[in-house]
Amino acid sequence: MITTASAYPSVLLGDVCRFIGGGTPSRKRDDYFNGNIPWATVKDFKTFRIFDTEDHISEAGLADSASNLVPAGTVLLVTRVGLGKVAIAEQSLAINQDIKAVIPTPEIIPEFLFWFLLSKGSEIERMGAGATVKGVTLNDVRSIKMPLPPLDEQRRIVDILSRADGIIRLRREAQKKTAEIIPALFFDTFGDPATNPKEWDVVSLSEICGKCLTHDPRKQPDDTFFYIDITAIDNQRGRIANTKVLLGADAPSRARQIVRVGDILVSTVRPNLRGSAFVPIELDGQICSTGFCVLRPLNNATSAFIYALVRSDWFVGELIQNVRGAQYPAVSDKDVFSLTLPLPPLDLQNSFAEVVEQIRSIQSQQFAATAKAEAAFEALLGHTFREGTL
C-alpha cells in the first residue's frame, strides 16, 4: 500500500524546481530545420517517454532562437496547447515555447516528479486561461503544491507506479498485435486488391453493396433515437465508440440515414483519417449522419469482407485519390460505390468471417482487460497524490 501524500509535508514546485522554457526558430530559414537536434513540440507527447521527435533543428536554429537544449531524463510539462501533458526526455533535445522543462533539486527524483505532475494533468488543464489558445503561466506552475516524501519512499512509489504502467503497456502491445492479425489474414486469404494476384472477378462496390433507406426523425419529434455522427467513430479501432440520444425534434439536418446491423459506415469527410466502422446489433434501425457512405452487403458479399476491405491501406488510398476540396476534403457516395475491387468466392468470404469473429472476441476481451487496468492505474495514481492540491 502506498501512503497518501497527506503523510508528508508539501512544498511549492517553485521552491524545489527550476524551469527552462523553449522557443521556435524562424520558419523563414529552411536551414534551421534541416539539422539533427530533436526539437520537441506538443505533438511529440504521444507516450510518457520521448525517444525522438517529429521535427529536428540545426545548431544555428538552436543558437538563433529561444529554444533550449535539455538533457536526457528531464521532465517536460506542456503549459500551452495541450495543457497538462507530461513526458520524460529519453535523450538530449530542444523544446519549443509550449513546453517547460522542470528540473528538480536533488531531494526529488525526476521520475517521482513526473508521476506527480501526471496526476495533476486535469487540474493543470482547468487552470488554463485564454480565449483561443489555453495556457498556464509559470507562476501558476510554481504555485502547485507537491508532497515531499524521503528519497527511499519516492523510489518505492516510482517502482510501484512504473510496474502498474508496465502492465498497461503490455496489454496495449498485445492489442496492437491482435489488431494486425485481421489485415494480414485478409491479404493472405484474398490477396492484395491492388494487384489481384488470385485473379478474382473485378466488380464495383455498387455491385456487392446496396444503399440504405433515409428517414427524417423530425417527423416524430417526441421519439428518441441513437444518432451516429462522424465524431462517434474510434478511427484507430474502427468501431462506433459513442452515440448521442436525441429527440426527433432535435435531430440535426444530417441525421437522415437508417442503419442496420452488419452495415459498414465509411466517412466521406477526410478519408485519410480512416473513419469507418461496423454497425453492431444494438444500433440496428438507428440513424447516422449523411457524412457517412453506408455500405450494405448484398448476397454476394459478407460484412466481414467489406469491413476488412474498407479498413485496408488500399481502400483508403483509393479514396484519397478522389478527394476534393481544400478546406473540407471529402469524397462523394458515388466515388465510394464506383470503386472496383476483386471479389472472392462467397464460401471463402464466409470462412474468413468465421475466423474474424473469433479474433473480434479476443479483441473485446483485451479491450475490457486494458480498460480495467487503466482504471486501476488511475485510481492508484490518484490515491498516491490525492492530498496534493494546486
On the question of pLDDT at 127 being above 70, the answer is yes
In whole angstroms, what is the distance from residue 84 CA to residue 127 CA?
10
On the question of pLDDT at 59 being above 60, the answer is yes
Residue 181 phi, psi dihedral angles, 5° rounding = -70, -45
pLDDT band at 387 (very low <50, low <70, confident <90, very high): low
pLDDT by residue (tens digit) across 280-303? 999 999 999 999 999 999 999 999
- Packing angle of the helix pair 303-310, 181-190 (nearest 10 deg): 110
Instruction: Break the chain into its structural domains and give their ranges.
Output: 5-174+372-384, 201-343
pLDDT by residue (tens digit) across 197-213? 999 999 999 999 999 99
Running DSSP on this structure, what letter comes out for residue 180?
T
Among 218-222, 320-324, 382-386, the least confident range: 382-386
H or E element, residue 295: strand 292-297
Is the distance from CB of 116 to CB of 385 less than 8 angstroms? yes
pLDDT band at 82 (very low <50, low <70, confident <90, very high): confident
- Comparing 5-174+372-384 with 201-343, is the CATH topology the same? yes
> What is the distance in angstroms between the CA of the first residue and the CA of the last residue of the chain?
24
pLDDT band at 388 (very low <50, low <70, confident <90, very high): very low
In whole angstroms, what is the distance from residue 79 CA to residue 82 CA?
7
Q: Which residues of 197-208 are buried (b: 16+ CB within 10 A; e: fewer)?
A: eeebeeeebbbb
On the question of pLDDT at 2 being above 60, the answer is no
Third-level CATH fold of 5-174+372-384? Adenine-n6-DNA-methyltransferase TaqI; Chain A, domain 2 (3.90.220)
In whole angstroms, what is the distance from residue 151 CA to residue 112 CA?
9
Count the alpha carbons within 13 Å of 3 in the hemisphere toward its beta carbon: 14
Residues near 303 by Cβ (< 8 Å), separated by ≥ 6?
262, 263, 264, 278, 297, 353
- Give the Cβ contact number of residue 302 at 10 Å: 22
In whole angstroms, what is the distance from residue 89 CA to residue 237 CA?
29
On the question of pLDDT at 389 being above 50, the answer is no
What is the average pLDDT across 338-364?
A: 95
Q: Cell for 44? A: 511529440
Q: Which residue has the cell 506527480?
A: 116
pLDDT by residue (tens digit) across 128-153? 876 566 788 999 999 999 999 999 99
pLDDT for the residue 249: 97
* CATH fourth-level superfamily of 201-343: DNA methylase specificity domains (3.90.220.20)
pLDDT band at 326 (very low <50, low <70, confident <90, very high): confident
Q: Cell for 37? A: 537536434
pLDDT for the residue 6: 59
Among 125-129, 238-242, 311-315, 318-322, the least confident range: 125-129
In whole angstroms, what is the distance from residue 380 CA to residue 2 CA?
8
Q: Which residues, in sequence order, are bridge partners of residue 145?
A: 12
Model confidence pTM above 0.95: no
What 3-state DSSP class applies to 294?
strand
Q: Which residue has the cell 444503399?
A: 211
Among 13-27, 126-140, 210-224, the least confident range: 126-140
